[in-house]
């Protein structure tokens, strides 16, 4: 979007809210921004000071699930500073992660494939289809079936 000038003369660039999602609970808030093509970035994770670790874990896992079911998300990426010990401590408590160090920061990545391994694939696909993403649901089931056939494993 182009920069606009307000009535007071201040120039600002509006945000296309159609590509952002804010998920809030009593424990805190997560805000995601879409990069397009199924890639979403975790822009803000705010856990309230009174929230327990389990509350923050539940918030994160519920938000990731919501994003994978209710949006086009295929990948979620979060970036945080090396000295952010609270974020680093939370990573092992989410079952679907990749954490690498890059340019003085940690890059956390979760894909729909790693997320689906912790669920019943058919139930997750039904939820995706019900949320308006039938093509994504079909792709997830097809990819899962190919993985199962190759490895000889079962889900759930």
Q: Which residues pair with 105 in a beta bridge?
A: 81, 102
pLDDT in tens, 98-112: 778 888 888 888 888
pTM of the model: 0.76
Judged on CB neighbours under 10 Å (0-12, 13-18, 19+), 137 is: buried
Q: Calculate what percentage of the chain has a pLDDT beyond 90.
A: 14
DSSP-assigned beta bridge partners for residue 21: 32
Question: In this predicted model, what pLDDT tens digit does every residue of 30-72 receive, in sequence order?
Answer: 889 998 889 999 887 777 888 787 888 888 888 888 889 888 9
CATH number (3.40.630.30, 3.30.360.10, 3.40.50.720, 3.30.390.50) of 13-118 reads 3.40.630.30
- Contacts of 52-61 spanning 24+ positions with Cβ under 8 A: 53/89, 53/90, 53/93, 55/25, 55/26, 55/27, 55/28, 56/27, 56/28, 56/90, 57/90, 57/93, 57/94, 58/25, 58/27, 59/23, 59/25, 59/27, 59/28, 59/30, 60/30, 60/90, 60/94, 61/94
Contact by Cβ (8 Å): 113, 145:
no
34, 20 contact by CB (below 8 A): yes
**132 band by pLDDT with thresholds 50, 70 and 90:** very high
Domain ranges of the chain: 13-118, 119-156
Q: Look at residue 134 in the predicted model and tell me its pLDDT.
A: 93
Cα–Cα distance for residue pair 143/155, rounded to 1 Å:
13
């Amino acid at each position: 979007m182009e920069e606009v000038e307000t009535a007071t003369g201040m120039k600002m660039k509006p945000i296309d809210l159609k590509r952002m999602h804010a998920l809030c609970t009593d424990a805190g808030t997560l805000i995601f921004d879409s990069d397009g093509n199924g890639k979403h970035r975790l822009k803000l994770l705010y856990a309230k000071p009174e929230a327990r670790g389990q509350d923050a874990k539940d918030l994160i896992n519920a938000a990731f699930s919501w994003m994978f079911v209710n949006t086009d998300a295929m990948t979620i990426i979060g970036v945080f500073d090396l000295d952010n010990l609270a974020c680093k401590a939370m990573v092992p408590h989410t079952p679907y992660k990749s954490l690498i160090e890059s340019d003085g920061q940690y890059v956390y990545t979760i894909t729909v494939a790693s997320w689906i391994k912790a669920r019943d694939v058919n139930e997750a696909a039904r939820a995706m289809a019900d949320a308006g993403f039938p093509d994504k649901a079909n792709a997830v089931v097809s990819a899962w079936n190919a993985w199962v056939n190759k490895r000889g494993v079962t889900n759930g």
